[in-house]
């Protein structure tokens, strides 16, 4: 059975196996409180990987718009891969150009002598006999009545015009924008369409019947309602989620990322092979775009720095770009890019998982601690107020970092991922077990390592989640079920019990990629795990209180609101039968009615799918509380709020 027993100093649960009891009793000592829950526990993590940004959060509809891959007559753009490490079934990824040649073989060549961006630019050679020639991309989704805007960068011979930009729909409808003249130098030309019908396989064509040749530097197509390049529907969900902080841009990605590639005019930023994952990084989203997103969703950025292949000066320059005044070299560059005011980023991850041999730039621990300290010194020279999160892993790595680098960090990063278990209660318990394990190890280190306790270093669990199942939403795009939502709720409860240890937690990752929001090209919705994160963020209390009692498989946690005028009670029930929890509040009287939020479904495998009616939702209803008894339906996350009488 599960025994929830906390002391004032350590709000930690002890878990034992056992059957669920339909009726359980707990003692809630309202005078024994833990450290206030940090709002950063509700943080998120977004990485340049799969369909997190491109194909998810960013509104660009076109694949490989900067022609990283050469356009050839051999059209086979998609590859299929598996992930044996995580037992993920086949998923598709872009391995070659998604642009199809219109015209006979040899119609398109790649200019490597004076490319507009990247290593080469496609050149369309026109036959001059009145037949059409150009390139096209299919697989585009559009909604009936929606507007779409774009631009194309062209150069060419005078005889190459007029050039047509056409959007062809499934039903045979073709919408055309005509560019009457082009010059020998690259120029950008806008276009727009209104889709008369919906399509999931629309095709964009760039064609001409003229003479000579024309070059396509780059092009773009987005829904007209995008918010500075971001998808409006996804931004709305991010605002609803209300996470206070986002870790960016990685993850494994960051150890091979040159942040300068994401700066300056977007069309001229070079496309690169993603250094850690499948696919191409077009660098359309960089530092300035990310900070604009943070402004849109009222969140803070937590920026990860490249301590893999990146050097000390590179990290310091990046911090200066974000935070330096305009009389510094990087601050002046930021101002030239349209952002004169410093962004004021406070939180910085000094590297990512540098303990792992999968990490670009991995090095022995003895070498890395020196590099960490050098990077930290360089950052603090640029910005003395920077808050630094060091790379951590429980065991020897943590002990060495906390010994050698304790005066060069403010927080220590940890990561946990859990896989699928057949038993629902055991599956749901995993995250809480791991969160408690890390907290326990950190407490031991704090006790054993000289000088550490006085520094008040806390843990940033800046990656945590379930990771299992097939990649249905692109690379790492797994589906989440109700049983995963139960586990996330138990994980949050465990963070609250260890609020003295955990400063921040970043659910990994927000969009599609093991994410709490899933998208299609035209729809977006919360996965089951996102519902829990939203519910707790908006309605759970801030001051955890002691809960003690034998509760079987149930997970019970409680917290005062900040003003101590109401108590919130969380009950996670990972079993099929309804349970009743009777609470002893030690004489404190509460109002007989409570507000009850519940996430439940009779099927623990239930899931939500964007564009379809959800199977799992948050239900809110008043509840009459008699004799301090609270009900929890089978397979449910429950949150009760009672006002003090």
Q: 3-class DSSP state for residue 427?
A: helix
DSSP-derived secondary structure letter, 606: -
DSSP-derived secondary structure letter, 254: G
Low-confidence ranges of the chain (pLDDT < 50): 1-21
Q: What is the CATH number of domain 78-223?
A: 2.60.120.260
DSSP-derived secondary structure letter, 554: -
Residues forming the active site: 353, 463
| Cβ neighbours around 16 below 10 Å, total | 9
Residue 33: Cβ-neighbour burial (10 angstroms; 0-12, 13-18, 19+): middle
| Cβ neighbours around 82 below 10 Å, total | 13
d(CA 263, CA 270): 10
Report the relative pairing of strands 245-248 and 23-33 from DSSP bridges: unpaired
DSSP per-residue letters across 118-182: TT-EEEEEEESSS--EEEEEEEEEE-TT-EEEEEEEEEE-GGG--EEEEEE-TTS-EEEEEE---
Cα–Cα nearest to 6, from 628, 565, 556, 568: 556
d(CA 308, CA 436): 29
Domain 2-35+544-644 has CATH 3.20.20.150: no
Nearby residues of 588 by Cβ (< 8 Å), 6 or more positions away: 30, 644
- List every span in the chain annotated with CATH 2.60.40.1180: 2-35+544-644
Cα–Cα nearest to 85, from 356, 274, 432, 354: 356
Are 12 and 442 in contact, with CB atoms under 8 Å apart? no
Cα–Cα nearest to 4, from 429, 550, 630, 500: 550
| Cβ neighbours around 624 below 10 Å, total | 8
Residue 130: Cβ-neighbour burial (10 angstroms; 0-12, 13-18, 19+): exposed
Q: How many residues does the chain have?
A: 645
DSSP-derived secondary structure letter, 84: T
What would the two tokens of residue 609 be? Answer: 């799918």
Cα–Cα nearest to 219, from 290, 131, 155: 155
Give the angle subtended at the CA of 40 by the CAs of 35 and 46, to the nearest 5°. Answer: 155
Q: 3-class DSSP state for residue 80?
A: strand
Residue 95: Cβ-neighbour burial (10 angstroms; 0-12, 13-18, 19+): middle
d(CA 358, CA 250): 14
Are 229 and 61 in contact, with CB atoms under 8 Å apart? no
Peptide bond into 251 cis (omega under 30): yes
* CATH superfamily, domain at 39-59+239-539: Glycosidases (3.20.20.80)
Residue 543: in which H helix or E strand, if any? Answer: strand 543-552
What would the two tokens of residue 175 be? Answer: 């919408």
- Residue 16: per-residue pLDDT: 29
Nearby residues of 367 by Cβ (< 8 Å), 6 or more positions away: none
CB half-sphere exposure, 226, CA atoms < 13 A: 22
Cα–Cα nearest to 303, from 190, 607, 314, 194: 314
User: Which phi and psi (to 5°) does residue 320 adopt?
Assistant: -65, -35
What sign has the CA pseudo-torsion 143, 147, 151, 152?
positive
d(CA 107, CA 127): 8
User: Which phi and psi (to 5°) does residue 224 adopt?
Assistant: -65, -20
pLDDT digits (tens, 9 = 90+) for 545-571: 999 999 999 999 999 999 999 999 999
Residue 113: Cβ-neighbour burial (10 angstroms; 0-12, 13-18, 19+): exposed
Cα–Cα nearest to 537, from 164, 220, 273, 245: 245
CB half-sphere exposure, 231, CA atoms < 13 A: 25
Are 108 and 135 in contact, with CB atoms under 8 Å apart? yes
pLDDT digits (tens, 9 = 90+) for 215-234: 999 999 999 999 999 999 99
d(CA 304, CA 10): 31
Specify the residue for token string 């064609």: 207
What would the two tokens of residue 596 be? Answer: 């009850």
- List every span in the chain annotated with CATH 3.20.20.80: 39-59+239-539
Peptide bond into 255 cis (omega under 30): no
DSSP-derived secondary structure letter, 305: E
| Cβ neighbours around 184 below 10 Å, total | 10
Q: 3-class DSSP state for residue 560?
A: strand
- Residue 231: per-residue pLDDT: 98
- List every span in the chain annotated with CATH 2.60.120.260: 78-223
Residue 404: in which H helix or E strand, if any? Answer: helix 396-404
Nearby residues of 186 by Cβ (< 8 Å), 6 or more positions away: 116, 153, 154, 155, 215, 217
- Residue 22: per-residue pLDDT: 60
d(CA 309, CA 277): 16
d(CA 519, CA 172): 27
What would the two tokens of residue 174 be? Answer: 């073709």
d(CA 644, CA 585): 11
């Amino acid at each position: 059975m599960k025994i929830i027993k906390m002391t004032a100093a350590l709000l930690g649960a002890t878990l034992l196996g056992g059957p669920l009891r339909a009726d359980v009793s707990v003692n809630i000592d309202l005078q024994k409180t833990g450290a206030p829950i940090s709002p950063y526990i509700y943080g998120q993590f977004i990485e340049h990987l799969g369909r997190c940004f491109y194909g998810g959060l960013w509104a660009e509809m076109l694949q490989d718009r900067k022609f990283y891959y050469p356009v050839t007559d051999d059209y086979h753009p998609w590859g299929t891969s598996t992930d044996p490490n995580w037992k993920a079934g086949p998923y598709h990824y872009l391995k070659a150009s998604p642009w199809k040649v219109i015209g006979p073989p040899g119609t398109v060549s790649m200019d490597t002598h004076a490319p507009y961006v990247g290593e080469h630019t496609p050149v369309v050679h026109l036959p001059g006999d009145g037949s059409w020639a150009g390139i096209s991309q299919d697989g585009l989704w559009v909604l009936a009545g929606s507007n779409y805007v774009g631009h194309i960068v062209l150069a060419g011979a005078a005889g190459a015009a007029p050039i047509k930009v056409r959007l062809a729909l499934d039903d045979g409808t073709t919408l055309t924008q005509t560019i009457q003249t082009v010059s020998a130098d690259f120029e950008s030309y806008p276009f727009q369409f209104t889709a008369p019908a919906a399509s999931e396989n629309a095709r964009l064509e760039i064609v001409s019947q003229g003479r000579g040749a024309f070059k396509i530097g780059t092009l773009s197509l987005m829904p007209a309602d995008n918010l500075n390049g971001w998808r409006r529907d996804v931004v709305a969900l991010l605002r609803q989620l209300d996470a206070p902080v986002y870790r960016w841009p990685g993850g494994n990605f960051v150890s091979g990322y040159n942040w300068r590639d994401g700066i300056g005019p977007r069309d001229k930023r070079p496309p690169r092979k993603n250094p850690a994952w499948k696919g191409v990084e077009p660098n359309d989203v960089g530092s300035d775009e990310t900070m604009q997103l943070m402004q849109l969703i009222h969140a803070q950025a937590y920026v990860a720095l490249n301590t893999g292949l990146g050097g000390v000066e590179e990290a310091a320059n990046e911090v200066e770009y974000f935070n330096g005044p305009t009389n510094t070299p990087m601050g002046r560059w930021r101002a030239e890019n349209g952002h004169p005011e410093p962004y004021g980023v406070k939180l910085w991850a000094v590297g990512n998982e540098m303990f792992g041999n999968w990490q670009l730039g991995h090095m022995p621990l003895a070498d890395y601690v020196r590099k960490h300290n050098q990077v930290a010194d360089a950052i603090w020279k640029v910005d003395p107020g920077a808050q630094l999160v060091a790379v951590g892993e429980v065991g020897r790595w943590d002990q060495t970092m906390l010994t050698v680098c304790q005066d060069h960090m403010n927080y220590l990063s940890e990561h946990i991922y859990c896989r699928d278990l057949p038993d629902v209660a055991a599956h749901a318990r995993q995250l809480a077990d791991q969160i408690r394990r890390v907290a326990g190890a950190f407490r031991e280190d704090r006790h054993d390592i000289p000088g550490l306790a006085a520094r008040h270093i806390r843990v940033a669990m800046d990656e945590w989640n379930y990771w299992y199942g097939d990649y249905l939403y692109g690379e790492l795009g797994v589906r989440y079920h109700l049983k995963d939502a139960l586990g996330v709720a138990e994980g949050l409860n465990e963070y609250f019990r260890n609020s003295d240890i955990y400063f921040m937690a970043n659910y990994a990752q927000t969009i599609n990629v093991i994410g709490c929001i899933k998208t299609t090209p035209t729809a977006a919705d919360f996965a089951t795990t996102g519902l829990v994160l939203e519910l707790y963020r908006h309605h759970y209390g801030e001051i955890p209180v002691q809960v003690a009692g034998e509760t079987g498989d149930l997970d019970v946690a409680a917290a005062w609101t900040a003003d101590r005028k109401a108590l919130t009670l969380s009950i996670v029930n990972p079993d099929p039968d309804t349970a009743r929890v009777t609470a002893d509040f030690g004489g404190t009287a509460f109002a007989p009615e409570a507000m009850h939020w519940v996430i439940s479904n009779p099927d623990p495998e239930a899931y939500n799918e964007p564009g379809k009616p959800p199977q799992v939702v948050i239900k809110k209803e008043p509840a009459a509380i008699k004799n301090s008894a609270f009900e929890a339906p089978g397979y449910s996350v429950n949150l009760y709020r009672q006002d003090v009488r």
